[in-house]
């Protein structure tokens, strides 16, 4: 379905009030099956604390998010895949109009819970995978900020700080096995501890950006077999997400063959969960047709039921971190906020109407 409309910007939560800007008429492309089916220099560092078990902190009055401390995914150490050791973990701020926290050299993966205040009983939970090319983690712009905005919409969230390493230690190509291990463990951890956090263990999905979108695709197609030997009772819980959201995902398609990379094993992905994909047509980093090809292959293997693909004309790559969607730090190359910035509301509408997991 092609839709033409002019709509007022709604409040997306947090510190950014986007209701003050009206965008011009834009074009939305939605492909349907049943309901229609992805940084800068350092200015300073900082360190956070990590616990080894679910930690519930007092609710901050007046906030939509109930934020908790980081929890170690592998209390006794992450699986050793024989990779070169990482350097010391680095947390740093990018330079630019909107300084954002990023992580480098992550060897100890963690989860940070963000529980929605006054969420309905049937509220879904999303495990968020930040992007960064598997070389760094855009943990703030594509992690914490996303979680808080989901909370404002009544959706629980957990932000995964997965393992990344110096790019000199990892050639370009598919992500290391450790990223899939971290994603599987994260979903299992949230599901195993659902009662502790007061969430529904049958409504746990993932949402990935750029490289995080690649990880969401990798997890979706490889959730039946765990990528490491079970360590404890956490691994008794299924690592399969109940749904997947991918925003400007990258590294999905082999450009020579014009088909999904073999490491995604998409041809064996008939059991992939319902999937929502959003991409901008002017993405100069990860071309949008990757998402189209990926979606088509989902349909071809029978995994396209209850899936949706949304492609907007403008927004470029990384619109959640590059100020395209910001009114606080606007991008001067855009006179209006692109429609792709509505991806979160579109995804939640998809969850409500297609998956019937929110009321």
Q: What is the pLDDT of residues 99-142, one digit of tens each?
A: 789 999 999 999 999 999 988 888 999 999 999 989 899 999 99
Q: Do 159 and 144 touch, CB atoms closer than 8 A?
A: yes
Question: Which of the residues in the chain have pLDDT under 70?
Answer: 1-65, 95-97, 168-174, 263, 265-269, 322-323, 326-335, 359
Q: Do 116 and 192 touch, CB atoms closer than 8 A?
A: no
**In the prediction, which pLDDT does 1 show?**
32
Lookup: tokens for 325 = 């969607």
**In the prediction, which pLDDT does 11 show?**
26
Whole-prediction pTM: 0.81
Q: How far apart are CA 238 and CA 259, in angstroms?
A: 29
pLDDT digits (tens, 9 = 90+) for 77-95: 999 877 777 788 888 887 6
Which residues have a Cβ under 8 Å from the Cβ of 249 and sit 6 or more positions away? Answer: 38, 208, 209, 210, 212, 213, 214, 216, 217, 277, 279, 286, 290, 291, 294
**In the prediction, which pLDDT does 196 show?**
95
Q: How far apart are CA 318 and CA 280, in angstroms?
A: 10
- For the chain, give every domain's residue range: 2-50+64-355
Q: How far apart are CA 116 and CA 125, in angstroms?
A: 9
**In the prediction, which pLDDT does 211 show?**
93
Closest C-alpha to 201, from 193, 211, 213, 212 = 193
**In the prediction, which pLDDT does 145 show?**
93
**In the prediction, which pLDDT does 225 show?**
86
Closest C-alpha to 202, from 35, 38, 356, 34 = 356
Lookup: tokens for 231 = 């360590």
Architecture of domain 2-50+64-355: 3-Layer(aba) Sandwich (3.40)
**In the prediction, which pLDDT does 334 show?**
55
């Amino acid at each position: 379905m092609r839709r033409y409309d002019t709509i007022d910007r709604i409040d997306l939560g947090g510190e950014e009030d986007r209701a003050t800007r009206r965008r011009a008429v834009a074009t939305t492309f939605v492909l349907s099956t049943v309901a229609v089916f992805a940084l800068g220099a350092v200015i300073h560092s900082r360190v956070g604390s990590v616990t080894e078990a679910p930690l519930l902190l007092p609710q901050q009055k007046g906030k939509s998010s109930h934020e908790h401390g980081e929890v170690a995914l592998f209390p006794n150490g992450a699986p050793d895949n024989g990779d070169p050791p990482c350097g010391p973990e680095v947390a740093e701020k990018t330079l630019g109009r909107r300084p954002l926290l990023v992580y480098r050299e992550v060897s100890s993966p963690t989860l940070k819970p963000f529980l929605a205040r006054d969420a309905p009983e049937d509220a879904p939970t999303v495990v968020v995978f930040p992007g960064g090319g598997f070389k760094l983690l855009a943990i703030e712009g594509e992690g914490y900020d996303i979680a808080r905005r989901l909370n404002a919409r009544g959706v629980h969230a957990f932000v995964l700080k997965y393992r990344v390493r110096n790019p000199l230690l990892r050639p370009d190509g598919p992500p290391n096995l450790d990223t899939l291990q971290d994603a599987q463990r994260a979903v299992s951890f949230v599901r195993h501890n659902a009662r502790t956090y007061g969430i529904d263990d049958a409504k746990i999905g993932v949402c990935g950006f750029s490289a995080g979108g690649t990880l969401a695709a990798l997890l979706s197609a490889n959730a039946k077999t765990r990528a490491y030997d079970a360590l404890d009772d956490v691994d008794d819980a299924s690592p399969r997400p109940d749904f997947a959201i991918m925003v400007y995902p990258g590294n999905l398609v082999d450009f020579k063959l014009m088909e999904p990379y073999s490491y995604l094993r998409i041809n064996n992905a008939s059991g992939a969960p319902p999937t929502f994909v959003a991409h901008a047509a002017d993405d100069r980093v990860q071309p949008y047709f990757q998402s189209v090809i990926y979606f088509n292959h989902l349909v071809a293997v029978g995994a396209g039921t209850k899936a949706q693909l949304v492609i907007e004309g403008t927004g470029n790559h990384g619109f959640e971190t590059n100020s395209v969607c910001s009114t606080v730090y606007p991008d001067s190359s855009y006179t209006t906020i692109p429609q792709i910035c509505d991806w979160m509301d579109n995804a939640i509408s998809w969850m409500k109407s297609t998956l019937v997991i929110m009321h």
